């Protein structure tokens, strides 16, 4: 049996330039989709996947994230006095939800660098990485799907999805062969190679790496061995490519819909789709949308 995955690292120290000016002072992880900050969707996904220990890598101006997962005495006191039981439960739930630890990434030197900052807190055990700006709507949480594949193969697993060829240069991309698993051969892939942001004409496939990973602790040696790559940043994809020399790595084409909520159009799509699913909002919101002259 492979070691149990107990911890999830949330890199949240990026600058969020695609969402300026909103992200000048507000961390993009705190942008609300309907009424929840996007990072809370990721934290709930980790919880529903059986992971309770959350490590958030924060940067400058990210204290709103810490406040969000902390107890708010004044607010709870006020809601209690006003007998707003439902709201009180929502607010308490957030701080009761998780064991959370924070570590600082002083400079945004890349996703790989952010993950490396969590090395001491993770220790010598397998862990998940969740990029909160990928909001994933799935019946079985995406991370749970990856953990099942990890348990079967005892190896790192990355979530991938098919994207149109012309969009692949925005992602890390895999060169991989399908592996038969649970009687299908179009979900699990054994990775042969990884390329960060390839040109469409040079991409080895249309399978893009998205923001969910289950990784083994030997990734930290790889992260310490590599040089800055695409965009002058320490890339997690480059470290995984390095790790591939010493152990097999798998990819899983997860079942669900991923929204890039760090991008304006993706954020709008997530907002509309998730609002439509809400029992309290879906009906009136659908009626409103039907009335739009599109
Ligand atoms: P992005 O590629 O979305 O970059 O990072 P970004 O800086 O956050 O946003 P844009 O592109 O400028 O709009 C992917 C994830 O990696 C984290 C981000 O917070 C995000 O969750 N990250 C990125 C870090 O934690 N540190 C970094 O140095 C870079």
Q: pLDDT, tens digit, for every residue of 209-223?
A: 999 999 999 999 999
Residue 268 has pLDDT above 90, yes or no: yes
Residue 265 has pLDDT above 80, yes or no: yes
Contact 123, 9 (CB under 8 A): no
Provide mean pLDDT across the span 243-268: 96
| Tokens, residue 187 | 């979900």
The ligand 1 atom nearest the CA atom of 23: 13
Provide mean pLDDT across the span 86-91: 82
The tens digit of pLDDT for each residue in 96-111 reads 777 899 999 999 999 9
Residue 78 lies in a domain: yes
Summary mean pLDDT of the chain? 93
CA of 15 to the centre of ligand 1 (A): 6
Residue 190 lies in a domain: yes
| Tokens, residue 174 | 């895999």
Residue 73 has pLDDT above 90, yes or no: no
For residue 69, name the pLDDT band (cuts at 50, 70, 90).
Answer: confident
Domain that holds residue 209: 7-288
Provide mean pLDDT across the span 172-182: 93
The pLDDT of residue 75 is 84
**What total number of domains does the chain contain?**
1
Residue 276 lies in a domain: yes
Residue 95 has pLDDT above 80, yes or no: no
* Per-residue H/E/C for the chain: CCCCCCEEEEEECCCCHHHCCHHHCCCHHHCEECCEEHHHHHHHHHHHCCCCEEEEEECCCCHHHHHHCCCCHHHHHHHHHCCCHHHHHHHHHHHHCCEEEEEECCCCCCHHHHHHHCHHHHCCCCEEEECCCEEEECCCCHHHHHHHHHHHHCCCEEEEEECCHHHHHHCEEEEEEEEEECCEEEEEEEEEEEEECCCHHHCCCCEEEEEEEEECCCHHHHHHHCCCCHHHCCCHHHHHHHHCCCCCCEEEECCCEEEECCCHHHHHHHHHHHHHHCCCCHHHHHHHHHCCCC
Provide mean pLDDT across the span 151-164: 97
For the chain, state the CA radius of gyration. 20
Residue 202 lies in a domain: yes
Task: Record the pTM.
Answer: 0.94
The pLDDT of residue 94 is 73
| Ligand 1 pocket: which of 111, 196, 213, 238 to mutate (most atoms within 8 A of CB) | 111
Nearest to 173 by CA among 153, 149, 202, 147: 202
Pocket of ligand 1 (CB under 6 A): 11-19, 57, 105, 108-111, 113-114, 131-133, 262
Provide mean pLDDT across the span 163-181: 94
CA of 262 to the centre of ligand 1 (A): 9
CA of 71 to the centre of ligand 1 (A): 27
Q: Whose CA is nearest to atom 9 of ligand 1?
A: 16
Residue 95 CA to residue 76 CA, distance in Å, equals 11
Residue 230 lies in a domain: yes
The pLDDT of residue 10 is 97
Residue 266 has pLDDT above 90, yes or no: yes
Residue 1 lies in a domain: no
The ligand 1 atom nearest the CA atom of 132: 21
For residue 187, name the pLDDT band (cuts at 50, 70, 90).
Answer: very high
The pLDDT of residue 166 is 93
CA of 132 to the centre of ligand 1 (A): 10
Residue 84 has pLDDT above 90, yes or no: no
Provide mean pLDDT across the span 126-155: 97
The tens digit of pLDDT for each residue in 196-255 reads 899 999 999 999 999 999 999 999 999 999 988 878 899 999 999 999 999 999 999 999
Q: Whose CA is nearest to atom 22 of ligand 1?
A: 14
CA of 42 to the centre of ligand 1 (A): 15
Proportion of the chain above pLDDT 90, given as a percent: 77
Residue 191 CA to residue 179 CA, distance in Å, equals 10
Q: Domain containing 70 — which CATH number?
A: 3.90.550.10
CA of 179 to the centre of ligand 1 (A): 31
Residue 89 has pLDDT above 90, yes or no: no
CA of 13 to the centre of ligand 1 (A): 6
Among 8-12, 36-40, 93-97, 135-139, where is mean pLDDT lowest?
93-97
The pLDDT of residue 115 is 98
The ligand 1 atom nearest the CA atom of 28: 8
The ligand 1 atom nearest the CA atom of 109: 28
Residue 62 has pLDDT above 80, yes or no: no
| Tokens, residue 287 | 């009626």
256 CB-side CA count, 13 A: 23
The pLDDT of residue 17 is 92
């Amino acid at each position: 049996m492979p070691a149990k995955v107990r911890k999830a690292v949330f890199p949240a120290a990026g600058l969020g330039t695609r969402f300026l000016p909103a992200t000048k002072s507000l961390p993009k992880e705190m942008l609300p989709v309907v009424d929840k900050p996007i990072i809370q969707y990721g934290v709930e996904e980790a919880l529903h996947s059986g992971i309770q220990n959350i490590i958030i890598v924060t940067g400058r101006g990210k204290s709103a994230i810490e406040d969000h997962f902390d107890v708010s005495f004044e607010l709870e006191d006020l809601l209690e006095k006003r007998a707003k039981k439902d709201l009180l439960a929502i607010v308490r739930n957030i701080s009761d939800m998780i064991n959370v630890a924070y570590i600082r990434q002083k400079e945004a030197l890349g996703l790989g660098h952010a993950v490396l900052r969590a090395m001491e807190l993770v220790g010598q055990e397998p862990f998940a990485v969740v990029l909160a700006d990928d909001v994933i709507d799935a019946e079985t949480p995406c991370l749970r799907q990856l953990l099942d594949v990890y348990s079967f193969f005892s190896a790192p697993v990355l979530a991938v999805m098919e994207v149109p060829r012309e969009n692949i240069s925005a992602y890390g991309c895999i060169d991989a062969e399908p592996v038969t698993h649970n009687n299908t051969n179009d979900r699990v892939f054994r990775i042969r190679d990884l390329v960060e942001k390839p040109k469409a004409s040079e991409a080895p496939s249309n399978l893009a790496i998205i923001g969910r990973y289950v990784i083994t602790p030997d990734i930290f040696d790889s992260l310490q061995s590599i040089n800055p790559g695409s965009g002058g940043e320490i890339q997690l994809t480059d470290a995984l490519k390095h790790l591939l020399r010493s152990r097999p790595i798998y990819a899983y084409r997860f079942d669900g819909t991923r929204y890039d909520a760090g991008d304006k159009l993706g954020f709008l799509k997530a907002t509309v789709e998730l609002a439509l699913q809400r029992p309290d909002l879906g009906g009136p919101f659908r009626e409103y949308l039907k009335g739009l002259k599109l």
